A and B are shown apart, each in its own frame.
Chain A
């Protein structure tokens, strides 16, 4: 199979490329840019004039709800949503049921993802057995079967002794450890501890719930030299801590969930359960600091923090609802909005969605160099559209962004050179 993507503006941040050129794909890999490889005969031509051609998006945190919570979503349903959103790689944290703490679960997910065939699904193995934070998980075995890192799966390890050993053990195998910094005790609440929580009478989560844990973890990193990635930061002070650690040369990276860059505590007004997330939406100042962190690269990736829910999970008084936003459908659109808001230029935004997360994962993907796997996203930057609740491809309809208006929409997604999504009216 030989494909040419014709006439698009190719943005490949990994190689600082931003040109209007044809992109050639042969046998699932990038075969040339601008100039056809010898003997190239197109089986398939994609017209990309006036469109942006970039690496497929890599989403560092997407709950696919399988195995264990198929009533919320499945690998098949969410892979399809990812493809429609220009996302070609999904990183699945280990808090499935059963958790990803044994090779059989990894294999099972891989098989399901392959059967669905619409996105690459990577797994993070559990840091501790059953994610209980007490005994180590079989990290080496998990790495063997393909886990790209290990993680606390959203359940921070409270016991510092266990965490230290887990980090040490992971370091032995050069595994990157993905941590979610939220103190399990201080983090027990419903909203950012601030004026909105005071007004609505929601139990507050102080910023220290995040920064206290990060400070502890950074000291362990300093001792052990292990590569740690902090996922889904929510506060200005956390960004500061990470920036300082990076300046000192510690091997730490971090990301922001896209909704944290667009929403704040104010969006909880009216007890909007769609904005119930964990960590909570914080102040406008925090939102601005997170945006700045993404802009200057302290936060090297933007992820969807995708958490699809069945309607019942959100149809209750705020405190009885489950946290999380269904984010795959809006990851690209919300990221493009950052360009419009003047936060960072288009190539930089694409970097945070492609090469940035790839680097964090230690992968060679997220770029369009010759020989790279042909995971490609093509979008039309000028399409105006509005997200109606019925338009969500994810099975999770829990999005606070319905009714928002956007500019820029995916027209094609290619996975290993194969078109896995084409917008209506496209070939």
Chain B
């Protein structure tokens, strides 16, 4: 599908506007492994955010552990800031069923009680199975359920669509 940088550009614009509207001066960005972290890094640079980047691997929070177990390359989650009373922006590459975000929210709240949480995603492909929506979206795609969309990176960031 090609280069993802222009989508990040769009996403950064939306997010900047949203933060201004809400009066959030210094949000903390948290990327979800792996693609979400790549995007979060770029957003942080573009938005000039000072707080170091947080990253989360939600492997231990997945609701399909009983079917697929733990991913062998699970990485440590690292939130290098105090979550309590912070405005958090959770960032992922593709929003699909919403289950990943559900798990990420659970993990986030195990670190503390944030003031608010916003969700920014590069692609919203629909197909939600839980009531979760993003606050900022790079692009929306309506894809049949068999299709797969994947982000490769970190440099260059590229979206790949695999149709069935």
Q: Do chains A and B touch in the complex (CB under 8 A)?
A: no
Residues of A within 8 A of B (CB): none
Chain B residues packing against A (C-beta within 8 Å): none
